[in-house]
Chain A
Amino acid sequence: MNDLKQVNKSKKRVDAKAKVTGKAKFGADLKFANMLYGKVVRTKYPYAKIKNVDISKAEAYPGVEVVMTAKDIPNNTFGVIIQNQRVLAEDEAIYIGDGIVMLAAESKEAAEEAAKLVEIEYEELKGIHDPLESRKPDAQLVMEGTDSNQVVHHPLRKGDVETGFAEADLILEREYSTHYIEHAYLEPEAVTVVPNERQTLVSVYGSVQNPYATRDAVARVLEADLSQVRIIQDNMGGSFGGKDENISSMAARAAVMALETDRPVQMVNSREESIIESYKRHPYNLKYKVGATKEGKLTAMEIEAVADSGAYACQTPFVTWRSVVQATGPYEVPNVKTDTYGFYTNNPYTGAMRGYGSPPTCFAQESLMDELAEELGMKPDQLREKNMYRQGSHTASNQKLDNHTVSLQEVLDKAKESINYDKKYEEYSKEQTGEKKRGIGLAISYRGVSLGAEAIDTTGGIVAVQKDGSIILYCGLAENGQGLRTVFSQVVGEELGVNLDRITYMEADTSVAPESGSTVASRSTFMGGNALKKAAKNVKETMIEFAKEEYGVEGEIIFKDNALYTDSGKKIEDFSKVASDAFHSGVFLSSYGWYKAPKISWDEETGQGRPYFTYVYGCQIAEVEVDTGTGQVKVLNMAAAHDVGKAINPANVRGQIYGGVVMAVGHALMEDLGFSDGFINHTNFDEYLIPTAKDIPDIDAIIVENPDPAGPYGAKSIGEPTVELGGAAINNAIALATGERHYDLPLNLERVLIGRDLSREG
């Protein structure tokens, strides 16, 4: 382990050159002979009865090949958890992104013109746009065939909160809210479906985050076997959790039209279509009640978190489950009562977005801890140190943290040191004169790695050594821009002593690679790394056996620098020669690796058990300057310390941290859909603002390494923890700077200046 050649090195991304030179092909770059262009006509209103649809003029438009509605679709519903998302709306539209008619034509222009000729007669209805309204017993129902608008409820009970609050010297009750977040991937959704290609009914090419989930949906809609639906992922221009159900829906639509016309159909969303139809991060309403002794020991926490699921269930059951596990934050609390809910509304549906269910609870709970510290007259870090998890601590679900290193103290100390927290905290706590005031704020978290008790957690991979010694890797996990091709190549390269230029990680192809679960939950390095490491080990053993026999060597054989060596350091043969010799001797040099995650458990009634097999820990500290004349907040510096177990590629880990911090800055300060009564008003990036290079703070990305016994080379995860802390850290920094606390996101100019967002009702 001390002599790592590939792993724990900042290797250049294996796909960097193709991407920066423009050679890499993305979903919308593909062209097939005889291809048609698809287009969807969406509802005009968030909630409306569809009284009549007249497609005759659209059908008659020159170049139009097919125009279809819900009744032409073999099976109109799909979903990863609850199958209630419709490919096209039939009797009523229940959110502003619902498609009603789809068509395909010889050119994009013809498709667009024909779409304008579709005549839909609506009866606009009054929808329900607030989950707090939707949860009322007498609320009108959003979803047909349900008896309430509740999608899910996750309870967690530990100890007795009544007793806990009775022991408290101080009780705080606060309410928080978080808002919709658009993923804002650079590349809007794109899919091309080719019918009757390569022994399958349909081949689906496109910007697909989760090829198996999309395969499930397309097969279900077509009522076809999984083996007849092939999903091949193209290069991705970003996803962040956002190219799952919306891509499944697009692929299903294109597949139905491709089969109807027996021609390839391509569908590409404009930015406006993407923002209006795609799912968002769940907005949350959160109520927190916390009790503490005057010494600062937490005695009880009572939490209610209500998430807006929008029109479909989508991932709400799992998103709110992550919330229930992590709602208390990384603190020992003897008495906990948590309830998380999701409710249907006539709003945009909500699903996976980097961070999943944790950014809303982190924002609330870490803002609350700061306020509690202030009330108790303690420094924010001291209150945390008094209560945070340490080795052997028990979580809210009563899981004992003893199978990995609990490193909260380490991440906290390192982040504090990097940004000079103590000195700045003292300085900014004093009276500040002038317009511009500075503050510093911190947040810490723990986060379960991988899916946890959401679903079965397994991944498979194939390592195939070719007869020239080059290596092909297959795995069902997808390169979504996060660097997985590079990381997996490094893991296999390390095992087999081969440099990365000899290794090719294939795009995810559902008809070739083993089903590996979704590329979500920051699980890929851990799960896929373990699977491919196993496969590589198997191949290695085969090669060792062959080499011993073929070359008459004994003792340990070492794989390094593209060659095999004896334990005394004598070179046996080049790796490529061994591969060639083995192949020509009839030795099979490929292997599957299958990895099943360690055992977990969960009691749905009490929220007790072992929800995740391991955790990561992080601390982020924000230093801000607030212009009290305008409400403008400038984030000057961020320190972000994250325990990743082991960094397979440190440069890539830092990249993830930089990206996560920047995203959180956008979420905290400016991103806003301009949402009102079911409508989305900010439909492009001139109005939906994300940070520019000038808005990005100086970021110190601090990698903390405490190898996990179960991780490949000790690696855990990094993608999502980076984005859950910034909101609270920035909020706490603003509070220190201005003396005023905020409870709602985003912290835009008006909120910071006047105390509320004037453009919203409330």
Chain B
Amino acid sequence: MQKESKLNAENRQKTSGRGSNKVPIGSADFLAPESLEKALDYRKRYGFEATVIAGGTDIMVDYFERLYEVNSWLDLNKIEELKKIEINDEEIIIGATATHKRIAEHPDLQKYLPMLAHASSEVGAWQIQSRGTIGGNIVTSSPAGDTLAPLLAYDAKVVLQSKGGNRILDMSDFFIGPKENVEESDELLTKIIIPKPSENILSRWKKVGKRKALIISSLTMAILIEIDNDGVIENARACYGAVAPTPIEVKNVGDYLKNQKLKEVDAKKVGEIAVAGISPIDDIRGTEQYRRQVTHDLTVNAIKEMAEEI
């Protein structure tokens, strides 16, 4: 039960935990570097005292009617390098400030990473997709971030850059809790590296929300299965959002599916394993019981549909 009227409490949701505990440094600066190098200089100098802004679709909501609390801004929008999307024989490299809209409409990403393209087309609404960036979605680190389950399923890595050098981390190592991640105060997330998926890939993406747009997901699911020419599963990853403190891969699903013939898989069993691997809570977007049931049903259906597809 709520103890006090929400009017007297903090009204707004917070989406980025760390930026709000800044100590003002006296001078208020708006930093908009045109090079990554310069941005990393600022980042080192200001640390968390400058709030990083890309699309601003989370941060502007966070600080609605109290923008004055932000002392300095580090704006990444003028850095062309961060917007690039590159594809080579091995990898797909997406710059941190590529917008959801560009990703959703990119023909190669639609081809190679359909779950990511689809998820990007379901973030918020047109306006948010046009402003919001993939890097922002990752750094905000909401367990419900729409692009996160697909990125996990595609085995993405994130590049954290600082003056001192680069760290390349598995996505799964980046998140440590709701809206918490391992990014240090002198680091910027600059790109996402995704191994180019093979030809024999099946995938299923699903977003569940209480309405069709402008909705924080109640649950997301991204399942990827790689099969050989005989229909035997070589590799599988079942990833979910909004069912645990961070977006997660349920590794037991992959382990269970590996080396099985997809057409012979016991889909119900897969659903059970998936549910056993999540730890949902009750919140306004759904209850624990609802999330468990839907995780089960969506997983079972996804496996069945994929089996029928081959």
Chain A residues packing against B (C-beta within 8 Å): 42-45, 96, 272-273, 276, 435, 629-632, 634, 670, 674, 676-677, 679-684, 686-687, 689, 691-695, 748-750, 753-754, 758-759
Q: Interface residues, chain B, CB within 8 Å of chain A?
A: 1-2, 4-8, 11-13, 61, 125, 206, 208, 210-216, 218, 282, 284, 286-287, 289-290, 293-294, 297-298, 301
Residues of A within 8 A of B216 (CB): 686
Q: Are A682 and B289 in contact (CB under 8 A)?
A: no
Choose one: A43, A683, A694, A753; the contact of B212 (CB below 8 Å): A694
* B289: A residues at CB distance < 8 A: 754, 758
Q: Are A273 and B7 in contact (CB under 8 A)?
A: yes
Asked if B287 contacts A759 (CB within 8 A), the reply is yes
B290 and A750 contacting across the interface, CB-CB below 8 Å? yes
Contact A680 B208 (CB under 8 A): no
Chain A residue at minimum C-beta to C-beta distance from B125: A692
Q: Is there contact, CB below 8 Å, between A630 and B213? A: no
Check A44–B4 contact: CB distance below 8 A.
Answer: yes
Partner of A750, one of B1, B61, B287: B287
Instruction: List residues of chain A with CB within 8 A of the CB of B284.
Output: 674, 681-682, 687, 759
Inter-chain pairs besides A630-B208, A679-B5, A748-B210, 7 sampled, C-beta below 8 Å = A96-B5, A630-B206, A670-B211, A687-B284, A692-B214, A694-B212, A754-B289
**B277 smallest CB distance to A (angstroms):** 19
30 contacts between A and B (CB under 8 A): A44-B4, A44-B5, A45-B4, A96-B5, A273-B7, A629-B297, A630-B208, A630-B294, A630-B297, A670-B210, A674-B284, A677-B1, A677-B2, A679-B1, A679-B5, A682-B284, A686-B13, A686-B216, A689-B210, A689-B215, A692-B125, A693-B213, A694-B211, A695-B213, A749-B286, A753-B294, A754-B289, A758-B282, A758-B287, A759-B287
Q: Which residues of A contact B2 (CB under 8 A)?
A: 676-677, 679, 681
Pick the residue among B6, B7, B213, B298 that contacts A692 (CB under 8 A): B213
Please give the distance in Å from B64's CB to the nearest CB on chain A.
Answer: 9
Partner of B6, one of A272, A630, A748, A753: A272
- Point out the residues of chain A lying under 8 angstroms from B13, CB to CB: 686
Residues of B within 8 A of A676 (CB): 1-2
Chain B nearest CB: distance from A427 CB in Å?
23
A680 partner residues in chain B, CB cutoff 8 A: 5-6
- Closest residue of chain A to B61 (Cβ to Cβ) is A686
Shortest beta-carbon distance from A675 to chain B in Å: 10
Q: What's the minimum C-beta distance from B303 to chain A, rounded to whole angstroms? A: 13
Q: Does B4 lie within 8 Å of A629, measured CB to CB? A: no
A694 touches B6 (CB 8 A): no
Contact of B290 among A276, A670, A693, A758 (CB under 8 A): A758
- Measured CB to CB, the closest approach of chain B to A123, in angstroms, equals 14
Pick the residue among A276, A435, A684 that contacts B301 (CB under 8 A): A435
Q: Given A629-B298, A630-B298, does the pair A276, B210 have CB atoms closer than 8 Å?
A: no
> A692 contacts B290, CB within 8 Å?
no
Please measure, in the bound complex, the distance between the C-alpha atom of A276 and the C-alpha atom of B61, giving whole angstroms: 20
Contact between B282 and A749 (Cβ–Cβ < 8 Å)? no
Are the CB atoms of B287 and A276 closer together than 8 Å? no
Docked pose: A629 CA to B301 CA in angstroms: 8
Q: How far is the CA of A687 from the CA of B286 in the complex (A)?
A: 12
Total A-B pairs, Cβ < 8 A: 96
Bound together, the chains give a CA A578 to CA B289 distance in angstroms of: 76
Interface of chain A, main secondary structure: loop
B146 CB, min distance to chain A CBs, angstroms: 15
The 6 closest A-B pairs by CB, nearest first: A694-B212, A758-B287, A629-B297, A694-B213, A692-B213, A679-B2
**Min C-beta distance of A631 to chain B, whole Å:** 8
Q: How far is the CB of A100 from chain B (nearest CB, A)?
A: 12
Give the residues in chain A near B212, CB-CB below 8 Å: 634, 692, 694-695
Let me know if B8 and A691 touch, CB within 8 A.
no
A42 to B6 CA separation, bound complex (whole angstroms): 11
B213 and A749 contact, CB distance less than 8 A: no
In the complex, how many angstroms separate the beta carbon of A78 from the nearest chain B beta carbon?
23
Are the CB atoms of A683 and B293 closer together than 8 Å?
no
| Residues of chain B contacted by A677 (CB below 8 angstroms) | 1-2
Contact of A689 among B11, B208, B211 (CB under 8 A): B211
Q: Which residues of A contact B7 (CB under 8 A)?
A: 42, 272-273, 276, 683
Once bound together, how far apart are the Cα atoms of A53 and B294, in whole Å? 50
Q: Are B6 and A681 in contact (CB under 8 A)?
A: yes
Q: Which residues of A sit under 8 angstroms from B210, Cβ to Cβ? A: 670, 689, 748-749
Q: Does B211 contact A679, Cβ atoms closer than 8 Å?
A: no
Query: Shortest Cβ distance from B19 into chain A, in angstroms?
Result: 19
B211 and A695 contacting across the interface, CB-CB below 8 Å: yes
Q: Is the CB of A43 within 8 A of B218?
A: no
Contact A276 B1 (CB under 8 A): no
**From residue B123, how far is it (CB to closest CB) to chain A in Å?**
13
Q: How far is the CA of A179 from the CA of B248 in the complex (A)?
A: 36
What CA separation (Å) do A630 and B297 show in the bound complex? 8
A681 contacts which chain B residues (CB < 8 A)?
A: 2, 6, 284
In the complex, what distance in Å separates the CA atom of A450 from the CA atom of B287?
Answer: 43
Distance A35 CA – B293 CA, assembled complex (angstroms): 57
- Shortest CB–CB separation between residue B122 and chain A, in angstroms? 10
B6 touches A679 (CB 8 A): yes
Chain B residue with the shortest CB-CB distance to A277: B7
Contacts of A749 in B (CB 8 A): 208, 210, 218, 286, 290
Closest beta carbon of chain B to A49's beta carbon, Å: 16
Which residues in A have their C-beta under 8 angstroms from that of B298? 629-630
A683 near B6 (CB under 8 angstroms)?
yes
Instruction: Determine which of B8, B211, B218, B294 lies in contact with A629 in the assembled complex, contact meaning CB atoms within 8 Å.
Output: B294
Report which residue of B211, B289, B298 has the largest number of chain A beta carbons within 10 angstroms of its beta carbon: B211
How long is the Cα–Cα vector from A534 to B213 in the complex, in angstroms?
48
Report the separation of the CA atoms of residues A630 and B208 in the bound assembly, to the nearest whole angstrom: 7
B11 to chain A, nearest CB (A): 5
Q: How far is the CA of A634 from the CA of B125 in the complex (A)?
A: 18
Instruction: Find the B residue at minimum CB distance from A40.
Output: B7
Residues of A contacting B297 in the complex (Cβ-Cβ under 8 angstroms): 629-630
**Chain A residues with CB under 8 A of B287:** 750, 758-759
In angstroms, Cα B185 to Cα A547, docked, is 86
Would you call A45 and B282 a contact (CB within 8 A)? no
Please report the C-alpha to C-alpha distance between residue A584 and residue B50 in the assembled complex, in whole angstroms.
73
A489 to B210, CA, bound (A): 42
Name, among B11, B289, B290, the residue most crowded by chain A CB atoms within 10 Å (CB to CB). Answer: B290
Are A684 and B286 in contact (CB-based, < 8 A)? no
Cβ of B208 and Cβ of A42 under 8 Å apart? Answer: no
B1 touches A692 (CB 8 A): no
* Residues in chain B near residue A273, CB distance under 8 A: 7
Q: Assuming A276-B5, A435-B301, A679-B5, is B290 touching A632 (CB within 8 A)?
A: no
B292 CB, min distance to chain A CBs, angstroms: 11
Report Cα–Cα, A635/B172, bound state, in Å. Answer: 38
For A689, list chain B residues within 8 Å (CB): 210-211, 215
Indicate if the CB atoms of B293 and A753 lie closer than 8 Å: yes
A634→B210 CA distance, assembly (Å): 11
B290: A residues at CB distance < 8 A: 631, 749-750, 753-754, 758
Return B56 CB to nearest CB of chain A, in Å.
16
State whether A44 and B294 are in contact (beta carbons under 8 Å apart), knowing that A682-B284, A695-B211 are contacts in the complex: no
Q: How far is the CB of B44 from chain A (nearest CB, A)?
A: 35
Cβ contacts under 8 Å, B6 to chain A = 272, 276, 679-681, 683
CB nearest neighbor in A for B283: A759
A44: which B residues are within 8 A, CB to CB?
A: 4-5, 8
Evaluate whether A43 and B5 lie within 8 angstroms (CB atoms) in the complex, with A630-B297, A749-B290, A753-B294 already known.
Answer: yes
Chain B residue with Cβ nearest A750:
B290
A674 to B287, CA, bound (A): 13
Q: How far, in whole Å, are A630 and B291 apart by their CA atoms in the complex? A: 9
Which residues on A sit within 8 Å (CB–CB) of B301? 435, 629
- Which of the residues B11, B125, B218 comes within 8 Å of A683, measured between beta carbons? B11
Instruction: Specify the chain A residue showing the minimal Cβ separation from B288.
Output: A758
Q: Which residues of B contact A682 (CB under 8 A)?
A: 284
For residue A592, give the distance in angstroms from its CB to the closest CB of chain B. Answer: 46
How far is it, in angstroms, between the C-alpha of A531 and the C-alpha of B301 when the chains are bound? 63
The distance in angstroms between the C-alpha atoms of A102 and B209, with both chains bound, is 40
Bound-state Cα–Cα, A45 to B6, Å = 10
